[in-house]
Structure 1
Amino acid sequence: MKYDVLILGCGPAGYYFAKNYAKCKKKVAIIEKARLGGVGFRTGCLPVKKYLDKIRDVNISKKLIKNEICEVKLAMKKLYTSVRDDLFEIEEMIQKNLRALKVDIYFGNGEFLSQNEFRINDIILKFDKCVLATGTSPRGFGDITIDEDIILSHIGAVNMEDLPEDICIIGANVEGIEFASLFSSLGVKVTVIDMDKEILKGNDEDLKELTVNYLRENNVDFILGNKVKNIELKDNRARISFGDRNIYASKALVTGIRRPNIPKGLKEIGVRIEADCIPVNDFFKTNVENIYAIGDINGILGMAHIGINQGIELSEYFINNTKPKKNYKALPRAIYTIYEIAGAGYQENELKNEEYKVEKIHFKDTFRGFSKGLHEGFLKILTDRNNKIIGLWISSENASDLVGDVGIWIDRGFKIDDIKSKLFIHPTLGEAILDAVLKF
């Protein structure tokens, strides 16, 4: 079988490359060794968000119960298992979409035979170009081995048969804090250990406040400034060693440590592989002429939306010969806790030695915030000395939905006056941007 392009990996990068490139009627195949959707859609990013969305619905119900508007019994364990079972629909949706685009799908492990041949399940596929979108996998550290039973990665965490009584999360990073929000909201006793003395290091304190307070109210214990030395099994529990102490937990979740997924035979055909990535040039090309790499595997930032962008950019290069922009200057990003942190551009902690202005608006002081009964959350805008917008950040529920095209505003040097003349639908939470702008 001969293909114009063979894609290895069906996570965000590989899927969006296939989705865009297949429209030009070329012959395309995609190979997946595990589950369609990869970490971004199936075992990490999106599944955690689906759980958290359900928890927000439950929190609304709790408020109604508190106000005696309704009576309902909340079954948190059933919530967890029902969402876990729903995740299989993601794979079905991806497969349906690819089939509709006439993309051939192969499952299993394979290997490169040459720079134009790949063997999968005793079938030899020939190709003109190959796109590596194999991503990364979680790994332990030191002598710690992830077994996905007691010592977990995100894969085991979203696929447990039942909720544990307690869990110890290694890492107060984005992944660790998102899972802390998830499990503590489901009634699991959570302990978070991190070698740093700061939760969500690198983010402004005011942006973190709602999230940290929510976690503490849910009885999350933080052990900061302590490096975990070892995790071992003891009487079917995890014993976590740090400093001169040991603590025990039903489960231990290791976060933030990953390794690249290198296809078999890749090194043998001459592709250069570094310790934590496959390096690429400005066109996502490896050192081998017809082999390209997109998404986490190339080591550029390691976020799902970066992988999606690279998939689209590379497909456009193949179709129209347009050079990929790789424009990450005003990268939008989000932390998906119950109270999300989302935005683009600079935060204040990055501007300590720079002249800047900042204005903040609380959603409770907006018309839509009033109609929704919001009591918490805010938006802030940062500008430079010339009134150019250099950062916009939000802390609130569903903050990620409000960021929109702010990254484009920053990239294009929009000023405060440009936003004053922009139309915002009334009443919406997006009007908070206009309200903040009018304070300058």
Structure 2
Amino acid sequence: GQMLSCHYDILPPIIAEALSHLLDELPPSPTDKVLNLVNKELGTSMNEVTFWDPNPVGAASLAQVHKCTLKNGHVAAMKILRPGVEQLIDEDIKIMRFLIKRLPKTQAFPIDLKDTLDEFSTNIIKELDLLRELACMRKYGEGLPPEWEVKVPKGYPELCTKNVLTMSFHSGIRLDKAVQGLSRFRRRHMALSLTKTYLFKFLKDGMVHSDPHFGNILIDENSLVLLDYGATCFLSEKIRRKSMLLFWGLLRRDVSLVYSSLASLGVIQGHVDPLALENEIYDFLEDYLHRPLGQLSLPDMLKDLISQSPIWGIKIPKPLLYQVKALSMLEGTLHTLYPEIGFEELLDESFQEVTSILNLKPLLLMELGKEKIKRAFLDISSTTSAAVSSQRTENVSHGTTRLFSVLSLLIFGVGFIILPQSTHLYWLALWLFASAFTIRR
């Protein structure tokens, strides 16, 4: 419901508006139970709070937020888990496990339901740990360029526990309710800032904010305030590099690069008929990536890829699922903020700036070079194999030259793995020269 509420471009406005109440307007838990939990959690630290508003400023499914004033005069927001929410979630998970065991086995689902429930269980446990959210919130706010005008709340560690998170209060307006009062210039600036922030934190630190919906974004004067880091996940540097290539391939409509990036992310792994699968996926990508600008939804394309996965007999890796979920929410949010420009254009402009700020363009060039090397090596290997089998008795010297070419390419390709990163560009230039020489021979 929260994800769908972001898609005013898909749902009728009246339905999207109704679903938006799930973001932060649910009925709150009884005040006395909430206050008892806070006093129990904070103990004597509660003496630092001079005023605690019993009426929450927002209430969602897992927690609610109360405004308070501290001894130093700072106004703070206190996020408190709903009393008994852990037990309720535990019971819900047990019910879902019971139902999944009794469902007939079928290939109709794009993902394994048991694996999905296990992943949900793991993630929801993380969301229920507000000390983890405090750490994620602090890290997410590090290094953001001030000109983007994006704020992340500051935490008060001495007033935080596993069930209570106290942070700076921002008296902004929820993004979808503030849009009408913003000029076109401000909306475009904010849409770009939001997209750049998502890419910056992902490419720099591997952080994916999995819930960039309206309820977690405020407009405070001229700034965006990003809230709720409970669903934040971290991806490895290897996944970030491969995802960077996937983004680049999608934005450049490079079908070959998108396919190889998906393969390197583990999508194609272990398929019984890789050539038939390659043809299927190429056909799928050609259909999407050759659509006119403005008529392509990258999240929709990736979601359709996921829905096709059981038909193709492949399994979508979890890191890609995290990114698809976040991108889908981000696309809906950006469409509401600035519908005049497509998500693909915002992503492209932001990608160029973020990779420049993080000095990732040499790395991108190196990764592109690796993919070209890999592709050329596979092509030459297959050509060599065919030549050897058909002309073994006719042209031994020609086959020897082919074999020399393959070995040379292998040696230079391995150099990217062995040598320090600082020498990779020089090694690439040397490899290209050697490749030209061997191929010409």
**TM-score category (smaller protein):** under 0.3
Q: Which has the higher helix share?
A: 2
Q: Which has the higher strand share?
A: 1
Q: Which has the larger radius of gyration?
A: 2
TM-score, length-scaled by structure 1 = 0.26
